[in-house]
């Protein structure tokens, strides 16, 4: 069963009409189930931020036999990514961008502090970076074709999850340089971290709602970003991506 997790209802608005069964999860989470493209789907809106995302995804994975998770939503593109508002970003890794310590000499991440955010039973440690399931060549080609058909760019690269969004060009540039990320968000690394705990493959697709620059909401387009991410996933599901999760 494929799980789709979105931070807000807007980021699920085009998917919800395709799913019919509603149920509640512990923690007062509302879940919607059904099938899209012949694939069993559950859709969960987790709320904004890392705490909401981690709590909701852990609850979901405890309650249902999920085989794959897709995080879907909006993100802010770093200026070096060459992505524009309305483009599509696909994660190759998820990075906790502000877990660590700011010092006079620069930012120290959790590995530099020798403080793992997760310790595995075999002694392995995870710090700021968490894996995203590889995008198969077939899926990558489908996404690129989708981008061409819609007239949008499709970028592949690390995503950066923050609690404090970058409303300054200088702050975005620092995070981009330090992490190598292409866009930032507020939930992805938390869900990726929970998926590692449960040994569940994790994917993430985000539409670009804004550039990470000096904050100017007049240049944003959140509805367009939310829509393009959902349309990309629907295109993948129609092409058989969901079969990987069954």
As a whole number of angstroms, the distance between CA 46 and CA 31 comes to 10
- pLDDT average per 10 residues of sequence, the chain (246 residues): 96 94 89 91 96 97 96 98 97 96 92 88 86 91 95 97 94 96 98 96 98 96 98 92 54
Which pLDDT belongs to residue 24? 87
CA atoms within 13 A on the CB side of 54: 12
pLDDT at 244: 55
CATH code at position 237? 3.40.50.1580
HEC sequence for the chain: CEEEEECCCHHHCCCHHHCCEEEEECCCEEEEEEEECCEEEEEEECCCCHHHHHHHHHHHHHHCCCCEEEEEEEEEECHHHCCCCCCEEEEEEEEECCCEEEECCEEEECCCCCCCCEECCCCCEECCEEECCCCCHHHHHHHHHHHHHHCCCEEEEEEEECCCCCCCHHHHHHHHHHHCCCEEECCHHHHHHHHHHHCCCEEEEEEEEEECCCCCHHHCCHHHHHHHHHHHHHHHHHCCHHHHHC
Domain carrying residue 60: 2-245
Q: Give me 68's structure tokens.
A: 């794959």
Report how many domains make up the chain: 1
Q: CA-CA distance, 189 to 132, in Å (whole number)?
A: 9
């Amino acid at each position: 069963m494929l799980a789709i997790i979105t931070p807000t209802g807007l980021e699920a608005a085009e998917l919800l009409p395709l799913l019919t069964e509603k149920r509640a999860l512990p923690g007062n989470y509302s879940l919607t189930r059904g099938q899209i493209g012949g694939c069993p789907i559950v859709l969960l809106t987790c709320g904004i931020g890392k705490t909401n995302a981690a709590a909701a995804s852990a609850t979901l994975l405890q309650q249902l036999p999920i085989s794959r998770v897709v995080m879907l939503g909006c993100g802010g593109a770093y200026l070096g990514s060459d992505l524009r508002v309305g483009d599509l970003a696909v994660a190759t890794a998820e990075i906790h961008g502000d877990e660590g310590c700011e010092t006079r000499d620069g930012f120290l991440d959790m590995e530099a502090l020798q403080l793992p955010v997760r310790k595995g039973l075999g002694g392995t440690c995870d710090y700021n970076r968490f894996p995203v399931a590889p995008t198969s060549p077939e899926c990558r080609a489908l996404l690129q074709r989708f981008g061409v058909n819609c007239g949008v760019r499709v970028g592949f690269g690390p995503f950066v999850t923050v609690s404090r969004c970058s409303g300054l060009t200088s702050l975005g540039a620092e995070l981009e340089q330090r992490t190598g990320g292409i866009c930032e968000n507020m939930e992805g690394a938390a869900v990726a971290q929970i998926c590692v705990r449960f040994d569940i493959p994790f994917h993430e697709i985000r539409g670009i709602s804004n550039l990470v620059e000096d904050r100017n909401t007049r240049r944003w387009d959140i509805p367009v970003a939310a829509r393009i991410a959902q349309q990309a996933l629907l295109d993948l599901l129609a092409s058989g991506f969901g079969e990987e999760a069954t």
